[in-house]
Amino acid sequence: MADTHLVHGMGTGLTAPSWPPIRREEAEAILAMFPAAGVLERLEWHSPRPFSSATLARTSTGDVFLKRHHRRLRTPAQLADEHAFMAHLATRGRAVAQPMRTTAGATALAEGEWTWEVHRKAAGRDLYRDRHSWTPFLDLAHAHAAGAELARLHIAAEGFSAPARPRQPLVSSFTILPADDPLAAAEAYVAARPALAGFLAGKAWRADLARLFAALGAEELAPALSAQPPLWTHNDWHPSNLLWDEAGGVATIFDFGLADRTCALHDLATALERTAIRWLELDAGPDAAIAEPDAARALLAGYASVRPLGDEALALLTRLLPLVHVEFALSEADYFRGVLGRDADADLAWQGYLVGHAEWFLSPAGQSLLEAIGPDPAERRRRLP
């Protein structure tokens, strides 16, 4: 399986992995350092997700999930941040995947150029495991259930007071949009990442961001965002990061790799951005009718059934949604240039993802989606800055 293993690419197809699949001998050696994991019997499945290598393994104690990161992406200390957040959520009653511990009591292990974590297979059906991250829900009931569970996660996250994660690749940080001057904050973000700065050198990226920020009201959005209560959030809420029970509800939440200190509305906007627009069909044109407004409304209805959303929150959400992807898109471009040295993929992250997605929201199709999920238009005009 490892010799023919393919992963999700930047489009709809599969591609050769950036990181080699986990080999049996590697898995045996790592599992030996996690005493509760048991002895490896076989590797059952290799994940198609592209930013790390992961496999589901059958052992003498049951099924376990091994995940291997390159040390330039995650160290054990960096994984400890998200593991602490997951542990907090578990103590507050949320069903989240929990990491196993090494013989030394750690939840992550450094071995050569790799960082490892091991989880007991969590409860629930992995209905979306082979689908791309930007794949909509299979039905509206799943969207509603996911929205309700996201609200429960936000309630459970309250009281987790860890600071924002230090700078590292592929984390959904929250420093640009809440800033008094979002463009200056974007310039500081780029300057702090030499690989990203090198990639953008020679591009009119400041002009592109200034145009998009002006068209989508970033400076007017900033004061309202900066006033939002800070909260640790998942930041990658899509159906393939959820396991499902027989009734169509969420059984387990996993993959907290993008988690950081943002705010609840940022996380909710990210969930909509990940699930309510068929971005992989954007090549059909800048005004492509790729939105799933019914799914967006179902997710919001599920969320509001647990954590009500007033018109003011909905108005802010609709202003945030077109720009919520900006910081992670920059992080992806930094990853592709700085870690993998692939400028073509970095350009897709910049031009196709950051610029292309924001421009779509300026199209009639994008504006129609915002109108479908926002409050009454007159109420939106009255309440927004």
Q: What are the backbone dihedrals phi and psi of residue 62, each rounded to the nearest 5 degrees, phi first?
A: 125, -160
Please classify residue 222 by burial: count the beta carbons closer than 10 Å to its beta carbon, then call 0-12 exposed, 13-18 middle and 19+ buried: buried
pLDDT reported for residue 9: 58
pTM for the complete prediction?
0.94
pLDDT tens for each residue of 93-114: 999 998 999 999 999 999 999 9
* pLDDT > 90? residue 277: yes
Q: Is the pLDDT of residue 382 over 60?
A: no
HSE (side-chain half, CA atoms, 13 Å) at 256: 32
Mean pLDDT in residue range 139-146: 98
User: For the segment 158-170, what is each residue's pLDDT rounded down to a tens digit?
Assistant: 999 999 999 999 9
Whole-number Å distance between alpha carbons of 212 and 216: 6
CB atoms within 10 A of CB 126: 17
Place 50 in a pLDDT band, splitting at 50, 70 and 90: confident
For the chain, list the domains and their CATH numbers. 2-120 (3.30.200.20), 140-383 (3.90.1200.10)
The answer to whether the beta carbons of residues 279 and 292 sit under 8 Å apart is no
Closest-CA residue to 74 (of 33, 31, 117): 117
3 state SS of 321: helix
Higher pLDDT, 2 or 272: 272
Judge whether residue 381 has pLDDT over 50.
Answer: no
Nearest to 69 by CA among 159, 168, 143: 168
* pLDDT number for residue 130: 82
pLDDT digits (tens, 9 = 90+) for 71-93: 999 999 999 999 999 999 999 99
Residues 6+ apart with CB under 8 A from 83: 99, 107, 108, 117
pLDDT at 12: 60
For the stretch 167-213, pLDDT in tens is 999 998 999 999 999 999 999 999 999 999 999 999 999 999 999 99
| For the ranges 29-38, 131-140, 371-380, the one whose mean pLDDT is highest | 29-38
Work out the average pLDDT over 295-321.
97
pLDDT at 286 over 80: no
